[in-house]
Amino acid sequence: MKKLNLKYLLACLVIIVCLFISSGCPLPTLDNIPTTTTPPATTSVTPIDPEWMPPSADGQDQALPSIADVVALVRPSVVAINTEYVSYDIFNRPFTQQGAGSGWIIDEDGLIVTNNHVVEGADSVTVTLADGRTFPAETVRTDSLSDLAIVKVDAGNLPAARVGDSSILRVGDWVVAIGNSLGLGISATKGIVSAQGVSLSVSAGQTQEDLIQTDAAINPGNSGGPLVNIAGEVIGINSIKIAQVGVEGMGYAISSNTAKPIIQQLVQQGYVIRPWLGVGLYTVDEYAVLTYDLAVDKGALITEVAVPSPAAEAGIEAGDVITGFEGEEIASADDLIQAIHSSEIGQSVEITFWRGDTQNTTLATLAESPPS
């Protein structure tokens, strides 16, 4: 059956071809199949600038400034500071604790700048120079509010570092931190200025002002060492690092322009003179409100009053809460400290405070701060 069908189909095909030929119609070919494709239209494009060429790379800087030259210039002026403290265990037995920090020579006659927290309360302070010589501290003068200190050693003709102008720094400028990192000897790290004029609360009632933020690594032991610009000038004193999970590259230095007048007073007078009210402070929080049954939920709680002092003479007592200073709201201990330091010695200031459920106003004449 399949063979008959195939023969039938072939016969039909032959008949169709013959009919085409006998009728004079040519069989279709690729040459005579009509097409529907149209050629693309030509478009005229006007050039922006036929003569333009890419900018030349001739003369561009091939490398960053040499950090090695900066370190070589400053390193002889950087010192390692080692401290010893006598502590007591739970059985009241004494034992010695050791600490390490950094400093830098500001005067060839043995004046060294460091942080207050490096030397504060130390029973002995030893300075090791870059050339390996070691000297015991002859005199130590500190200022806890600025976290600055001066150490004097009996040495002369020392390589003093140059001090620069921190006010001309720009965000993005290269800086180098040099110090006794981890107490393992003098080393250097580099970075940039990340921010300027930073204020940072470092403890209850204490805020550091005009700090330089940098991403140059600042590790334990770097405290007190110099932060220098690319010219090798000290533009900051390394002081603080934020050490939290997820936080990187946030170190802070006290600006040289803030430090210079404080260093000068520590050298000339032994302490820093500031306007003084004569009170101990605590920022009002939920704990203070509940403990002391306060009528307000913000302000500066007075924990103690020095006698004699401007506060005592103005009738301020422990347990009062200061909420206003010269017409400005006081919401924390930091607010009050900044307000006092922004005033003048001898200035009469209006203070608003709460005692129990009663709001009061008094006048206090700020005095010169006594030696620490």
CB neighbours (10 Å) of residue 283? 18
Residue 59 forms part of a structural domain: no
- How many whole angstroms separate alpha carbon 347 and alpha carbon 109? 38
Residue numbers of the domain that contains 92: 68-152
Phi, psi of 55 (to 5 degrees): -60, 145
Q: Does 337 share its domain with 309?
A: yes
Report the b/e string of 162-197 with b at 16+ CB within 10 A. Answer: ebbebeebeeeebbbbbbbbebeebbbbbbebbebe
Tell me the Cα Rg of the chain.
Answer: 39
Contacts of 142 (CB under 8 A, 6+ apart): 116, 119, 120, 148, 149, 150, 266, 372
Residues recognised as catalytic: 117, 147, 223
CATH code for the domain in which residue 209 is found: 2.40.10.10
Q: Does 264 share its domain with 282?
A: no
H, E, C per residue of 42-74: CCCCCCCCCCCCCCCCCCCCCCCCCHHHHHHHH
Of 152, 185, 218, the residue that ends a domain is 152
Q: Provide the domain count of the chain.
A: 3
Distances (CA, A) of 6 to 9, 11, 19, 353: 5, 9, 20, 117
Of 252, 268, 284, the residue that ends a domain is 268
- Whole-prediction pTM: 0.72
Determine if the peptide bond prior to 308 is cis (ω within 30°): yes
CATH code for the domain in which residue 342 is found: 2.30.42.10
Alpha-helix runs per DSSP H in the chain = 2-22, 67-74, 116-119, 256-268, 286-292, 310-313, 333-341
CB 302 within 8 A of CB 314: no
Q: Does 260 share its domain with 280?
A: no
Q: Which amino acid is at 18?
A: C
pLDDT per position in the chain (372 positions), as tens? 444 455 655 666 556 555 555 555 555 554 555 555 566 666 678 888 888 888 776 766 656 678 899 999 999 999 999 999 888 888 888 888 888 899 999 999 999 999 999 998 899 999 999 999 999 999 999 998 889 999 999 999 999 999 999 999 999 999 999 998 877 888 899 999 999 888 876 665 567 778 999 988 888 888 899 999 999 999 999 987 655 555 555 789 999 999 999 999 999 999 999 999 999 888 899 999 999 999 999 999 999 999 999 999 999 999 999 999 999 999 988 889 889 988 999 999 999 999 999 999 999 999 998 876
